[in-house]
Structure 1
Amino acid sequence: MSKPILDVIVVGAGHAGISVSYYLAKQGVSHLVFEKGQIGETWRSQRWDSFKMNSANRLNLLPQQATYFDDPDAFAGATEFALALESYAHQENLPVKEYCPVVSVHTDQQRGVFRVTVSEQGKDTAYLSRRLVIASGSQNRIWVPDWANHLAQPVVQLHASQYKNAHQLPAGNVLVVGSGQSGTQIAQDLLRSGRHVFLSTARVGRIPRRYRGKDIFDWLVTIGFYNTLTEEVTDPSLLTVKNPQVSGAGQRGKTSSLQSLARSGAIILGRADRADADTIFFQPNSSANVRYADEFSQQVKQRIDEYIQKNKVLAPLADIDLDDVPDEEAACASDLTQLNLVQETITSIIWTTGFRGDFSYLPLPVLNEERFPKHRNGIGAVEGLYFIGLPWLRKRQSAIILGIKEDAEFIVSHIVKSGLPGRG
């Protein structure tokens, strides 16, 4: 007996897919959510043991989610956040099918539906739906530079998603490549464990953990930092700017800066760009990367100060935060442009070089030349196809958990208004 045609199929049961499912359920839209693993799978399997969210628990609640975390101002670990997603999905009785990876998607133009094939209990099963929401994000395929293959085999190489703790690494020093959120947190984790760490940096901004009496995220929300519309961005380079460094480590989080890592013993290097069997070469830009991070923090604080003054907000003066004090001479930066792994006793490399989206199961017309989804505000290039959970989907806030509720509500509203059978 053939399965009924669903109104919507959602691919992915992370915070984006679960939020979409919530709004679909509230609208009485028949749907299923397919997840390749467990609910919140990437939070469970692609984070290290000491990982902390960089936004406070109270900012990470899903639509109408009751307070889940014991301390709203603390920063949850990855597993804790995944369990919160799971609890929410069960509480709302959302139709999630776990361990059902999507194999392929095709369009049935005659019937105007999507044919979604999933691997379910060891066999391929096809489902039909009138609308399709891709909520698998753009962080599901490991990316490491090709030249990493030039390195000699004895060096242990792990991607950030494979790293758990220092105990899984052989004795010796560690090179961390990448100084974004993952790179700085992992470098700090290794330093706390007593490892000697070399950190290859990139052009990444940073922000203080707290400023003038508030958590920095509270200020960023208040001043409208995250409300920048994608369609209003005139400088395309803004769309590729990495999220600024900030850490949720510790009881109330902390400022994360290259100079603070250097004080803990890290050697701050420039951007890694090539290698041979035993040597990695770096661009001579470590000082520039330190200054860029410092300047970013200064600019954000200036925007906050201007907002406080303009709106006559009562706010205390800023406390002294040693980790946020600019390193004006970039004294923490090393001028080394190459490392011989044998001579420096570097036995492990952690690649915190990010991910790419894997949309290989989608029909080709919906992807651009870079194999990234073509969409406008999350509405795909093929009728009935939607995306959510992508950076700058509609606004700057689309890249963070805080912004997913608004995007999910927008997508579901568009689906309902698009004319599902029996609806206006």
Structure 2
Amino acid sequence: MSISIPKKEPLEMPNKTHYSVLIVGGGQAGLSMSACLKERSIDHLIFEKNTIMHSWKTQRWDSFTLVTPNWQCDLPNHPYDGDDPKGFMKRDEIIGYLDRFAEKVKPPVLEGVSVEKITKLENDHYLVVTTQGEFTAGQVVIASGGYLKPIIPRMAERIPETVLQMHSNQYKSSKQLPEGAVLVVGSGQSGAQIAEDLHIDGKKVFLATGNAPRVARQYRGKDVVEWLDDMGYYQKTVDEHPLREGVRDNTNHYVTGRDGGREIDLRKFALEGMELFGLMENYQDGQFIFKPNLSKNLESADDTYKNINARIDSYIEKNGLDAPTEAPYQPVWGPKEERENLDLAASGITSIVWCIGFTPDFSWLDLPIFNGMGAPVHHRGVTKEVGLYFIGLPWLHTWGSGRFSGVALDADYLAGHIQQFGNSLAEKETTHALSEVL
């Protein structure tokens, strides 16, 4: 089933160009921020270059589901409102949940307006240059997310044009693809689930793996997410995590909520005919070239899987909980050899789905707030550039910061910070105005 996005009439531009707060991005993070600012009666405006919740409505495949249980959905004043809290919403259900949230918030938003540049003025206000003119604000919240520019390597340019190539954000279903085999590059959440989707549909799948970890779906009588919640993992802040800010670079564990939820074991796919390889390194002279690390990738994913289960075992034992026991995981398949080459013509590959992630794009943000890797430096979303904030980034504060489960906490915190700073800014401006008069 496809989602049709209704065409909107051109929005009238607001009759003012200065706001207390301007928000860039109309996804769940931007609307959560709007909801919390509305509660505090703080005037604001959202710029959204497409339409609100655009990526959810256009960049998810047909069989997409949440990978965390529905009960974790908890946007501001909008918890999960269905009748299956331990289930996993499908794409259309997720969109319905988000549409109902947007209807509650009724955010002040300009859709179809892109932000081209943000700078700071001498009076400490921010200048926001958009495709619909210039705006100023006392404070700005960047809610555009960290997944903006799809990654497709330059080697893709050398692959014959007869091979259809797409990024995971373009994939909908196997029906898009021509007859023939498919090469899926990347085994993170998207790659593993798209490979499974194609495999279920009867496609011959070649999968180039990476170092993504995996996790069980159910263990000892409960969903692993429920165990981790009981253990306080989702309440742990980035400052408390052993990796500190390094956790923001971690790859998400692959698992699925499809068909009521199950784990993904790439070894099982291999038994069923999917062909697995190590990391894809190059394409030249009609050959795909892979790093000989398939065994290492599979073992590393299994180690994470077993480590999480062991932590659950320790928690159960320490607290004297009554839970069923389970036999330790045993690999069902292993590669007999490491294959480093795959011939394009002989393999019958006619399409490639690149599932190697995204990079952020903050080139339009002309302020000194980035580290040497181009990532924004902040603490809990607050930057050293007074009045500038981020929300919706992975591990902004907790594991749930970039998800439905934790963005409300971040939005409420930032709204309180914004209110406090706004009061002091107003007091400062009033004092300055009085001194000018006197």
Q: What TM-score do the two structures reach when normalised by structure 2?
A: 0.88
Question: What does 1:158-177 correspond to in 2, within 5 Å?
Answer: 158-177=166-185
SS at match of 2:75: coil
SS at match of 1:161: helix
Query: CA distance change for structure 1 residues 68 and 98 in 2, over 3 Å: closer, same or farther?
Result: farther
Residue 147 of structure 2 corresponds to: 139
The yes-or-no answer on 1:369 pairing with 2:372 is yes
- Tell me the distance in 2 between the aligned counterparts of 1:150 and 1:394: 41
Residue 61 of structure 2 corresponds to: 48
Contact 2:72 2:80 in 1 (8 A): no
Contact 1:147 1:274 in 2 (8 A): yes
Query: CA distance change for structure 1 residues 196 and 423 in 2, over 3 Å: closer, same or farther?
Result: farther
What's the offset of the Cα at 1:181?
0.5
- Tell me the distance in 1 between the aligned counterparts of 2:180 and 2:349: 6
Determine what percentage of the aligned residue pairs are the same residue: 36
Contact 1:39 1:86 in 2 (8 A): no
Question: What does 1:350-361 correspond to in 2, within 5 Å?
Answer: 350-361=353-364
Residue 279 of structure 1 corresponds to: 287
Further displaced range: 155-164 or 238-247 = 238-247
Contact 1:269 1:333 in 2 (8 A): no
Q: Which runs of 5+ in 1 are unaligned?
A: none
Further displaced range: 380-389 or 225-234 = 225-234
Deviations 1:72-131 (A, max 9, x none): 222123343233222212123222332222222222222x21122333xxxx22222111
Further displaced range: 145-154 or 68-77 = 68-77
What's the offset of the Cα at 1:133?
0.6
Residue 306 of structure 2 corresponds to: 298
Residue 327 of structure 1 corresponds to: 331
Query: CA distance change for structure 1 residues 306 and 259 in 2, over 3 Å: closer, same or farther?
Result: same
The yes-or-no answer on 1:248 pairing with 2:257 is yes
Deviations 1:22-54 (A, max 9, x none): 111111111112212222111111111111111
Question: What does 1:221-232 correspond to in 2, within 5 Å?
Answer: 221-232=229-240
Contact 2:119 2:367 in 1 (8 A): no
What's the offset of the Cα at 1:351?
0.3
State how many pairs are aligned. Answer: 413
Residue 336 of structure 1 corresponds to: 339
What's the offset of the Cα at 1:237?
5.0
Q: Which runs of 5+ in 2 are unaligned?
A: 1-13, 429-438
What's the offset of the Cα at 1:357?
0.9
1:118 to 123, 130, 135: 130
Aligned amino acid, residue 93 of structure 1:
K
Deviations 1:239-286 (A, max 9, x none): 422111110111x11111211222332111101011114211111110
Aligned amino acid, residue 399 of structure 2:
R
SS at match of 1:229: coil
What's the offset of the Cα at 1:297?
0.9
What's the offset of the Cα at 1:70?
4.1
Contact 1:308 1:315 in 2 (8 A): yes
Aligned amino acid, residue 248 of structure 1:
G
Aligned amino acid, residue 411 of structure 2:
A
SS at match of 1:6: strand
Aligned amino acid, residue 278 of structure 2:
G
- Tell me the distance in 2 between the aligned counterparts of 1:97 and 1:31: 11
Residue 29 of structure 1 corresponds to: 42
Residue 383 of structure 2 corresponds to: 380
2:222 to 209, 214, 218: 214
Contact 1:15 1:401 in 2 (8 A): yes
Query: CA distance change for structure 1 residues 83 and 101 in 2, over 3 Å: closer, same or farther?
Result: farther
Aligned amino acid, residue 368 of structure 1:
N
Further displaced range: 62-71 or 209-218 = 62-71
Aligned amino acid, residue 249 of structure 2:
T
Contact 1:286 1:334 in 2 (8 A): no
Find the structure with the greater CA-based Rg. Answer: 2
Residue 23 of structure 2 corresponds to: 10
SS at match of 1:104: strand
Contact 1:52 1:249 in 2 (8 A): yes
Aligned amino acid, residue 302 of structure 1:
A
Residue 11 of structure 2 corresponds to: none
- Tell me the distance in 2 between the aligned counterparts of 1:91 and 1:30: 17
Query: CA distance change for structure 1 residues 237 and 362 in 2, over 3 Å: closer, same or farther?
Result: closer
- How large is the RMSD of aligned CA atoms in angstroms? 2.2
Further displaced range: 222-231 or 176-185 = 222-231
- Tell me the distance in 2 between the aligned counterparts of 1:386 and 1:237: 20
- Tell me the distance in 1 between the aligned counterparts of 2:172 and 2:181: 16
Query: CA distance change for structure 1 residues 313 and 109 in 2, over 3 Å: closer, same or farther?
Result: farther
- Tell me the distance in 1 between the aligned counterparts of 2:413 and 2:285: 51
